[in-house]
């Protein structure tokens, strides 16, 4: 066992209102520069929808992530070293600017300089790249509001799991928001595919970064990342990606997207994991969510704590792992799931799947909202099909998603019993294999947790400064030679 620490995030999708504040504040902080106009390190998609870039989940087209070969060995889906080298000057598996979008701005000068007249001047859209007038026909969340409609949902790769169950009319469809950022994977395909050794995963906290001095712009990382979360700066020709706001994390401060999240739905914390178990989990032939969970170590286990100390993890980091909301939601309560575990990168941004109004569904079915049987029965018939959520978060395992939604329903019903003065029935807890105390602790974390409970981030250690800087000094993005082709 080799204990390492990884910073991770959980997002509670029930609370996301799709305001995109996270995207805008991230863009203002990191990609408000020439060359990366089209880049959103954090974007918020509407599901069902095709996303940004278009149909990023269609790995039959992009060949991202990993696959297991006939001998059970893990291989990059983009091919072995030789195949990738043969495509080094002409990689066909890359999204084009059209797949992302032609970034628009507006001709604001017209508003400022138009002479007085009878007609109101209009600021027309112009391309932020060419400065030429353009028609707005696509954008990073074009699906918003039309999500679930036949226009976009039908092309969503995840809809293959549920097509027969979903009617494509506004009255009968469903939608929810999916904020996305780099997953800072435990088994990152971007790092494995980079011919220059420019992509790297920091040993101290697992954040995946790009060394701008080493990047030669081969773009293999863009193809290999199944989440399409590496972007090319069109001026420098080099790769850029979400940095998990590492200068803030090193100070113990949450990422910009998390701190500014209007819905307070993001949680940041540490997980301790066994580095020797990562390869086997990624190549697992069976339940991929359980395989991913099996890598993480109980930070309260004395044997794990002793080994963590031997492996050089400081006492404050061990204490932070014990108080980690990510550990609590993903491992203790098991309500957070990884996005597309079948890509086998072991993603470290976890999602609590959305629970559509379960009591409405119970009443609609003529059930009693105080009866656990009726409520759990309704979970299987919610407006958002279990199979759709399973295609996103559980490699198709609808029972796993149903278990999470039942636990969330049980938590709500248990708390309703408490707050309405009725005696809390332990039935809700026992029916989902939990206890009243556990459900109340889950409720506290999801409903009323303070900032100090949602973000448990130990500051970096001064003695790790050289490793934290990687092969660069300061912020890697500072070194982008903006304006140099």
What is the binding site for ligand SF4 (CB under 6 A)? Answer: 16-22, 44, 177, 179, 182-185, 188-190, 208, 225, 227, 229-230, 241, 261-263, 265, 345
Cα–Cα dist 125/108, whole Å: 9
- Angstrom distance (rounded) from CA 169 to CA 184: 37
Which residues contact residue 28 at a Cβ distance below 8 angstroms, ignoring those fewer than 6 apart? Answer: none
Closest approach of ligand SF4 to the CB of residue 187, in Å = 8
Give the shortest CB-44-to-ligand SF4 separation in angstroms: 4
Q: Cβ closer to ligand SF4: 241 or 431?
A: 241
CB-CB neighbours of 85 under 10 Å: 13
Q: How far apart are CA 52 and CA 96, in angstroms?
A: 11
- CB closer to ligand SF4, 190 vs 375: 190
Q: How far is the CB of 268 from ligand SF4 (least distance, A)?
A: 13
Q: Rounded to the nearest whole angstrom, what is the least distance from the CB of residue 227 to ligand SF4 in the complex?
A: 4
Is residue 63 a contact partner of residue 95, using CB atoms and an 8 Å limit? no
Comparing CA positions, the residue from 346, 201, 200 lying closest to residue 281 is 346
Q: How far is the CB of 395 from ligand SF4 (least distance, A)?
A: 17
Residue number with CB closer to ligand SF4 (46 or 236): 46
263 or 458: CB nearest ligand SF4: 263
CB-wise, 249 or 432, nearer to ligand SF4? 249
Q: How far is the CB of 469 from ligand SF4 (least distance, A)?
A: 19
Q: Which is nearer to ligand SF4, 19 or 68 (CB)?
A: 19
Phi, psi of 293 (to 5 degrees): -65, -30
* Nearest approach, Cβ of residue 433 and ligand SF4 (Å): 30
CB closer to ligand SF4 out of 188 and 353: 188
Cis (ω within 30 of 0) for the bond into 53? yes
> Which residues lie across from 74 on neighbouring strands?
68
Contacts of 164 (CB under 8 A, 6+ apart): none
Q: Is 240 or 274 the residue whose CB approaches ligand SF4 more closely?
A: 240
- Find the distance separating the first CA and the last CA of the chain, reported in whole Å: 47
Phi, psi of 60 (to 5 degrees): -70, -25
Query: What's the token pair of residue 256?
Result: 């910009």
Which lies closer to ligand SF4 via its Cβ, residue 241 or residue 333?
A: 241
CB of 13 to ligand SF4, least distance (A): 9
Q: Cβ closer to ligand SF4: 406 or 477?
A: 477
At its nearest, how many Å lie between ligand SF4 and the CB of residue 235? 20
CA distances from 337 to 175, 202, 247 (A): 19, 23, 27
Closest distance between ligand SF4 and the C-beta of residue 348, in Å?
8
The two three-digit tokens of residue 401, written as one number: 């998603």
Work out how close the CB of 31 gets to ligand SF4 at its nearest, in angstroms, rounded to a whole number: 15
**Closer residue to ligand SF4 in complex, CB, 64/299:** 64
Other CB atoms within a 10 A radius of the CB of residue 391 amount to 24
Can you spell out the DSSP letters for 272-337?
A: EEEGGGHHHHHT-SS-HHHHHHTTB--TT-HHHHHHHHHTT--HHHHHHHHT-HHHIIIIIS---E
Q: Give the CA distances from residue 453 to residues 190, 243, 273, 328, 388, in Å, rounded to whole numbers and listed in that order.
A: 32, 23, 21, 11, 31
Please list, in sequence order, all residues whose beta carbon lies within 8 angstroms of the beta carbon of residue 20, skipping any fewer than 6 positions away: 43, 44, 141
Count of C-beta atoms within a 10 Å radius of residue 58: 15
């Amino acid at each position: 066992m080799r204990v390492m620490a990884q910073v991770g995030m959980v997002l509670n999708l029930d609370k996301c209102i799709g305001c995109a504040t996270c995207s805008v504040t991230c863009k203002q902080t990191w990609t408000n520069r020439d060359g990366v106009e089209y880049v959103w390190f954090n974007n918020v998609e509407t599901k069902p929808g095709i996303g940004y870039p278009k149909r990023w989940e269609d790995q039959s087209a992009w060949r991202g992530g990993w696959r297991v070969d006939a001998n059970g060995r893990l291989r990059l889906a983009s091919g072995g070293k030789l195949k990738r080298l043969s495509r080094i000057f002409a990689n066909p598996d890359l999204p084009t600017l059209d797949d992302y979008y032609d970034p628009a701005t507006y001709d604001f000068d017209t508003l400022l300089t138009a002479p007085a007249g009878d007609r109101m001047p209009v600021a027309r859209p112009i391309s932020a790249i060419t400065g030429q007038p353009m028609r707005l026909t696509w954008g990073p969340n074009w699906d918003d509001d039309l999500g679930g409609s036949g226009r976009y949902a039908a092309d969503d790769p995840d809809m293959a799991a549920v097509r027969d169950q979903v009617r494509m009319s506004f009255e009968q469809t469903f939608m929810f928001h999916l904020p996305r950022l780099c997953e800072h994977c435990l088994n990152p395909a971007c790092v494995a595919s980079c011919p220059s050794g420019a992509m790297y995963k920091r040993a101290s906290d697992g954040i995946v970064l790009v060394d701008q001095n080493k990047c030669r712009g081969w773009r293999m990382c863009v193809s290999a990342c199944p989440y399409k979360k590496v972007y090319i700066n069109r001026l420098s020709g080099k790769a850029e990606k979400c940095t998990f706001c590492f200068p803030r994390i090193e100070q113990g401060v949450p990422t910009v997207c998390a701190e500014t999240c209007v819905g307070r739905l993001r949680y940041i914390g540490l997980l301790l994991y066994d580095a020797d178990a990562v390869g086997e989990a990624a190549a697992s032939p069976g339940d991929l969510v359980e395989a991913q969970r099996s890598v993480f170590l109980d930070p309260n286990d004395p044997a794990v704590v002793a080994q963590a100390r031997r492996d050089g993890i400081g006492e404050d980091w061990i204490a932070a792992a014990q108080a980690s909301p990510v550990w609590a939601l993903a491992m203790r309560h098991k309500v957070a799931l990884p996005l597309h575990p079948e890509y086998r990168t072991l993603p470290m941004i976890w999602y609590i799947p959305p629970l559509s109004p379960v009591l409405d569904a119970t009443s609609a079915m003529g059930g009693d909202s105080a009866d656990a049987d009726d409520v759990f029965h309704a979970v299987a018939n919610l407006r958002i099909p279990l199979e759709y959520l399973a295609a996103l978060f559980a490699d198709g395992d609808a029972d796993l998603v149903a278990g999470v939604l039942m636990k969330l329903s049980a938590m709500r019903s248990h708390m309703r019993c408490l707050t309405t003065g009725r005696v809390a029935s332990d039935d809700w807890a026992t029916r989902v294999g939990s206890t009243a105390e556990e459900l109340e602790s889950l409720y506290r974390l999801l409903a009323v947790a303070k900032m100090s409970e949602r973000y448990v981030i130990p500051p970096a250690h001064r003695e790790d400064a050289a490793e934290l800087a990687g092969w660069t000094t300061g912020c890697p993005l500072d070194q982008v030679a903006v304006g140099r082709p």
